[in-house]
Amino acid sequence: MSETLLEINGVTKTFGGFTALSKVSTEVLSGERFGLIGPNGSGKTTLINCISGLLQNDGGKIIFDGKQLDGLPAHKRTAAGITRTFQIPRPFHTMTVMDNLKIPAEFVSKPGAPQSEITDDAMAILETMGMAEKANQETSGLTQIELRKLELARAIAAKPKLLISDEAMAGLTGNEVDEVLEILIKFNEQGMTIIMIEHIMRAVMQFSHRVICLDAGELIAEGVPEEIVKDKGVERAYLGV
């Protein structure tokens, strides 16, 4: 039985008079592939912003690896083992692909770690991504899927226990979606816990061991993919029927 890595207990977030999250509670197990779905405006991004430290929750608790995160800034959560991708990749365009990876790798490395070790770790990630030949290329010439892969690679370079993949497949073709899925599954098989936020339902259902659905800031369904796709509340949230 896997241990709980992330606990979300009654998390609430408001913006003025608007409640973006209302007492959301769930947990993510160590080694799990966890899907987070919901229509636009459902609170998905707000929840992962609260987990990663981009936002601070107004109520409830977030506990990661046995330690409460509330009040902790984003960079300290990264150091603790939580990294995330962003929907719009923003690499350092004047730097090479390799240098883009070495920045997060150096942030989490031990003081005095040799550069050769950091470079080798980064190259191993690029090889898994199928981008080793792009290591010394500046990012300004990358294709859409290469930028998506680089965004993932930068998050993985920080050696997370928990990776939050936010819309990593947006704008990709069917074959490219399968390519990114394969990469994420490889890292999961190496022991990385992954939360996937995705609008491409085929991808999130194929990837996830377990899925939750948010709607209007509330958790309305939780279960294995086969249960979620048949859930009437999920159907109403997406289709309004």
Looking at residue 199, its pLDDT comes to 86
The H-or-E segment that residue 227 falls in is helix 225-228
Q: Does pLDDT of 241 surpass 60? A: no
Compute how many other C-beta atoms are within 10 angstroms of the C-beta atom of residue 49: 21
Q: What is the pLDDT of residues 102-151, one digit of tens each?
A: 988 888 887 877 888 889 999 999 999 999 999 999 998 899 999 999 99
Q: What does residue 202 show for φ and ψ, rounded to 5 degrees?
A: -55, -45
Looking at residue 59, its pLDDT comes to 96
pTM (2 d.p.): 0.93
What residues contact 181, with CB distance under 8 A and at least 6 apart?
169, 203, 206, 207
217-228 average pLDDT score: 95
Rounded to whole angstroms, the Cα distance separating 81 from 221 reads 27
Task: Of 156, 102, 152, give the one whose Cα is nearest residue 142.
Answer: 152
Reported as a pLDDT band with limits 50, 70 and 90, residue 1 is low
Pairing label, strands 162-166, 193-197 = parallel
Q: Does pLDDT of 99 surpass 60? A: yes
Burial of residue 189, with CB atoms counted within 10 A of its CB: 0-12 exposed, 13-18 middle, 19 or more buried: exposed
What residues contact 177, with CB distance under 8 A and at least 6 apart?
169, 200, 202, 203
